[in-house]
Amino acid sequence: RTALVWFRDDLRVGDNPALTAAIARGTPVVAVYLLDEESPDVRPLGGASRWWLHQSLQSLRASLDALGIPLVLRRGAAGAVIPLVATEAAADAVFWNRRYGRAERTVDAALKLGLREAGLHVQSHAASLLYEPWTLTTGAGQPYSVFTPFWRRALAMPEPRRPLPAPAGTAGTAQSPQSETLEDWGLQPSAPDWAGGLRAAWQPGEQGALDLLAEFLGEKLPLYPEQRDEPAEDVTSRLSPALRWGEISPFTVWHETMRVRAAAASGHPGAEAASAFLRQLGWREFAAHVSFHAADLHRVNWRREFDAFEWPPLDPRALTAWQRGLTGVPLVDAGMRELWATGTMHNRVRMVVASYLSKNLLIDWRQGEEWFWQTLVDADAASNPFNWQWVAGSGADAAPYFRIFNPVLQQQKFDPHGSYVRRHVPEWGTPDYPEPLVDLGESRRAALAAYERVRRPA
């Protein structure tokens, strides 16, 4: 008898309920990670995500080795490959932590049925969200579409469970099925090696995530409420890729933060800062819940009345200028270059560049969402399209359509000394810096007129 644990968006051994349950059976355990680019509608990973995955799997393999668990790497459609690996491992039970995307749920449900029919025990667990999406509903049993009441309700729920104790080693060694190698998968960019900046900025894997959390709670948290909107400051947690890949559990983040909050004497700024931080984790939950209940958030407007919006024909030169950080708007260009160089962008600047693309340039938000999907190390199937739609005005609890960020005022307010802009756009203020691609005032008026037509169809 052997237990098979299928790792997906939960690349950690700490607080991993599926792994813990498999080990608790007292049989040998085999782990598998599947690169699935074949199951219908499962969105292929973007470039930066592929880079992250390569590093993170190396780290997971080392942690599993220490527990005596082999990690098997395979490619293909889950419906075909997982049963095969189960047979090769002589597994009589399969464990996994749930995924919440529609296509992934369809794959998992079919697989569960098939494996059970074949006589295997199959068990799925909650590990990636603090609240299961079907448990947090309005009084009328409907999903929430506005954040504030959603989060109020979440905070009134029983507190999220405590993280599980670290797993001990397994009983006996399993017979390990054949594994492909990470190198076979070609997840790392070859020439040109654009990942140098990513390597310098990030340490993927479970230990890196725990270090970031400790650093955040120990040093940055008191500054968070005041400075979290200032892109030149480094006061946010930088945990988003670790949360996306499940290298850290939201339960661990929740309880560690609550511990710091409790330790801060009442009235201490730490308490307020902890709540502000957990509220951001609330946005992650909200995005996941909205996406769980919606069709294909990266393709379809959440507010269907936006389907009537007529995007002008795409101007590829404008899109390229935006992607490369050559729009002539300093804060936009700084953000886009930060993204390309490091695989991330400060949240405030993400809002500004998204507003500039979808409103000043009148380019369909899906183009921006796809670019972020390719380039962000935290590219998340729920948070990315949710936030794009939020900025564009088509999303849940979205900024009203007439809210168009003014990137010049945003820079004055949040980067008043230009430190962030200069860090990423060293030629700013010299003749080498491009002229503005569009006039901000005129393009704003054109966007308002276009949006007005959706609001009041002719």
Contact set with ligand FAD (CB under 6 A): 228, 236-240, 243-244, 280-281, 283-284, 287, 347, 350-351, 354, 372, 376, 378-380, 383-384, 387-388, 391
33 annotated as a binding-site residue: no
User: Taking the complex as a whole, how short is the minimal distance between the CB of residue 66 and ligand FAD, in angstroms?
Assistant: 27
221 annotated as a binding-site residue: no
User: Taking the complex as a whole, how short is the minimal distance between the CB of residue 220 and ligand FAD, in angstroms?
Assistant: 9
Closer of 107 and 351 to ligand FAD (Cβ):
351
237 annotated as a binding-site residue: yes
Do residues 39 and 273 make contact, with C-beta atoms less than 8 angstroms apart? no
Closer of 55 and 170 to ligand FAD (Cβ):
55
380 annotated as a binding-site residue: yes
Closer of 309 and 372 to ligand FAD (Cβ):
372
Do residues 30 and 174 make contact, with C-beta atoms less than 8 angstroms apart? yes
378 annotated as a binding-site residue: yes
135 annotated as a binding-site residue: no
10 annotated as a binding-site residue: no
Closer of 413 and 445 to ligand FAD (Cβ):
413
- H or E element in which residue 96 lies: strand 91-97
| Rounded Cα–Cα distance for residues 31 and 89 (Å) | 10
Closer of 56 and 236 to ligand FAD (Cβ):
236
- Parallel/antiparallel/unpaired status of strands 71-75 and 29-35: parallel
Given CA atoms 80, 101, 50, 316 in this order, what sign does their dihedral have?
positive
User: Taking the complex as a whole, how short is the minimal distance between the CB of residue 168 and ligand FAD, in angstroms?
Assistant: 30
Token code pair at residue 62: 């080392």
| Rounded Cα–Cα distance for residues 65 and 412 (Å) | 51
Q: What share of the chain is helix, strand, coil (3-state, %, to 5)?
A: 50, 5, 40
| Rounded Cα–Cα distance for residues 253 and 438 (Å) | 43
Core vs surface per residue 423-457: b (16+ CB within 10 A) or e: ebbeeeeeeeeeeebbebeebbebbeebbeebeee
- Three-state DSSP class for 100? coil
| Rounded Cα–Cα distance for residues 209 and 390 (Å) | 28
User: Taking the complex as a whole, how short is the minimal distance between the CB of residue 303 and ligand FAD, in angstroms?
Assistant: 17
440 annotated as a binding-site residue: no
Closer of 176 and 347 to ligand FAD (Cβ):
347
92 annotated as a binding-site residue: no
User: Taking the complex as a whole, how short is the minimal distance between the CB of residue 230 and ligand FAD, in angstroms?
Assistant: 12
Between the alpha carbon of residue 153 and those of residues 132, 251, 254, 457, the distances in Å are 13, 18, 16, 36
Closer of 7 and 277 to ligand FAD (Cβ):
277
* Residues whose CB falls within 8 Å of the CB of residue 439, separated by 6 or more in sequence, listed in order: none
User: Taking the complex as a whole, how short is the minimal distance between the CB of residue 191 and ligand FAD, in angstroms?
Assistant: 27
User: Taking the complex as a whole, how short is the minimal distance between the CB of residue 284 and ligand FAD, in angstroms?
Assistant: 4
Query: Residue 27 carries which DSSP code?
Result: S
Q: What residues form the annotated binding site?
A: 224, 236-240, 277, 378-380
Q: What residues form the annotated binding site for FAD?
A: 224, 236-240, 277, 378-380
